[in-house]
Amino acid sequence: MWINAPDEGYLHLFPIFSALMADNKLTEYQLSDLVSKFNIDAQIASIKPFGSGHINDTYRIYNADAEGHDYLLQRINHYVFKNVPLLMSNIVHVTEHLKQKLSSLPKDEIERMVLTVIETKDRYPYFKDAAGNYWRMFYFLKGTKSYDQVTNEKQAFEGGKAFGAFQALLSDMDVSRIKDTIPNFHDIEYRLNNLHNAIRSDKLHRVQYVSEEISFIENRSADMGEIMRLGKAGILPLRIVHNDTKFNNVLLDSGDKAQCVIDLDTVMPGYVAYDFGDSIRTIINTAAEDEADTAMIGLNISLFEAYAKGYLQAAAGFITEQEINSLIKGVLLLPYIQAVRFLTDYLEGDVYFKIHTPGHNLQRAGAQLALVKRLESSKEKLEEIIINNWNKVK
């Protein structure tokens, strides 16, 4: 498979999609033209928008043959991911490594457990159209579901197992093979710095509405750098981690068994506590990520425990004691850093996260800060659950 992009001179070979892409609304005809660039042999029945991600645009391609594969076509947001060839090269390396680790299993089972990158007809892992948009394709995993919110302990346990196993399978991969797709992604100093810059420039005169959020954030900023400090001191090992372990990034089958970890764009060197914290951010919250009524935001401790159990079982083979002790720090950091990012985007005019209503990013930031507050008051209890469950599996 070719990894690097064909140079710009190559683009004249392709039809022009540019103007059509600008408003995000592609017709089925335009989409089928894109599909035709990929090396698949299928009669397409229809193509429909799919999923609830905040970054990329995703479509499901239905195969006319009900027995054949369906596909997932995605436009990669190259405002967010500046180097798509590098990103796709990471994904190819990671999925190949995972498949190789699972190679004793039957092929169709491996394809259900690990994403399969479909090459273009000229053997690239993505297609770049004339407007500069990048497209990629995976097998669609039929019979699976993703949940924005967890509804029962089995789902939480299975999610923990899946993300733990994902880290475990990658724990023997050379970290230097995987490059940063978004540098400083979970670097809290960098994120706070961006927030400070947004406050200083106050482009849209929105700072006047967010003084409470800003002081809440400032009051905690010194404590939130702990994971980075331990990492720089060599106490926490840098590993290849997922970095976007929102619960909807694991697919479950119809019986709620975990099947496949998806959304591999941010698989990069990082710390295991980031992944643990980002999953807990979505699992433990009794309300949605963007809940407007912060009184609704509470902690579901039994879902937390179920996730921790699944995660610790799967991670027991590689995780260190220091990493175990860092997990609770990730639980507090991830909703906090997410709030910082949402608030920054609100101040910058909603240029990063897709929004569905005006003020959506502010609402999201408020919900995440309310979650931080609740987590702070239950910190000891959560820590105890982690340690008790660790003692059972270590």
Nearest distance, CB of residue 108 and ligand GN1, angstroms:
27
C-beta closer to ligand GN1: residue 331 or 385? 331
Task: Indicate whether 57 belongs to the interface with Mg ion (CB under 5 A).
Answer: no
Q: Which of ligand GN1, Mg ion, none does residue 80 bind (CB under 5 to 8 Å by kind)?
A: ligand GN1
Nearest distance, CB of residue 89 and Mg ion, angstroms:
18
Size of the site for ligand GN1 (CB under 6 A): 12
Task: In whole angstroms, give the CA distance from residue 135 to residue 129.
Answer: 8
C-beta closer to ligand GN1: residue 259 or 389? 259
C-beta closer to Mg ion: residue 216 or 269? 269
Task: In whole angstroms, give the CA distance from residue 348 to residue 48.
Answer: 31
Nearest distance, CB of residue 56 and Mg ion, angstroms:
7
φ, ψ of residue 67 in degrees (nearest 5): -85, -20
Task: Indicate whether 242 belongs to the interface with ligand GN1 (CB under 6 A).
Answer: no
Residues 331-350 touching Mg ion, rule: CB under 5 A, are none
C-beta closer to Mg ion: residue 268 or 386? 268
Query: Which is it for the CA torsion 121, 124, 127, 129, positive or negative?
Result: negative
Stretch near ligand GN1 under the rule CB under 6 A, chosen from 124-132, 152-160, 258-266, 310-318? 258-266
C-beta closer to ligand GN1: residue 75 or 246? 246
Of positions 5, 6, 33, 54, contacts ligand GN1 by CB under 6 A:
54
Residues 227-246 touching Mg ion, rule: CB under 5 A, are 244
Task: Indicate whether 115 belongs to the interface with ligand GN1 (CB under 6 A).
Answer: no
Nearest distance, CB of residue 352 and ligand GN1, angstroms:
7
Query: Where do contacts with ligand GN1 occur on this chain (CB under 6 A)?
Result: 53-55, 80, 244, 246, 249, 263, 265-266, 289, 338
